[in-house]
């Protein structure tokens, strides 16, 4: 039920987001820049960031180094939330956040 407030049955028009309509392009860019910096800082501290429609996280993956050597590295991912996947009937690989 909580997720339903994030889902739209029709495209969002300018009249649906009156506050956004009042912001300049520069202000919108500053908001996204701040959000991106926050997410990056959290990931650097190995913390996942949930934003309602999904989660940014680091997941371990094995990288082949050649000659049979494998190195485990962390890959940044965005994992779409289960309710959103179900609502839009999206098929995604199940990713576990450690």
User: Could you state, in chain order, the average pLDDT of each consecutive group of 10 residues for the chain (98 residues)?
Assistant: 54 70 89 94 94 91 87 91 86 80
Q: What is the dihedral of CA 78, 12, 17, 91, to 10 degrees?
A: -20
As a whole number of angstroms, the distance between CA 2 and CA 6 comes to 8
* pTM tops 0.75, yes or no: no
Strand order in the sheet with 54-66: 49-50, 54-66, 69-80
So what's the pLDDT on residue 40? 95
List of long-range contacts for 46-51, beta carbons under 8 Å, 24+ apart: 46/74, 48/97
């Amino acid at each position: 039920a909580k997720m339903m407030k994030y889902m739209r049955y029709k495209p969002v028009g300018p009249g649906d987001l009156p506050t956004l309509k009042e912001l300049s392009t520069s202000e919108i860019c500053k908001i996204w820049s701040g959000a991106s910096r926050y997410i990056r800082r959290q990931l650097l501290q190995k913390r996942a960031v949930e934003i309602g429609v999904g989660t940014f996280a680091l997941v371990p993956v094995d990288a082949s180094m050649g000659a049979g050597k494998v190195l485990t590295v962390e890959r940044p991912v965005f994992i779409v939330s289960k309710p959103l996947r179900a609502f839009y009937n999206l098929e995604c690989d199940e990713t576990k956040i450690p």
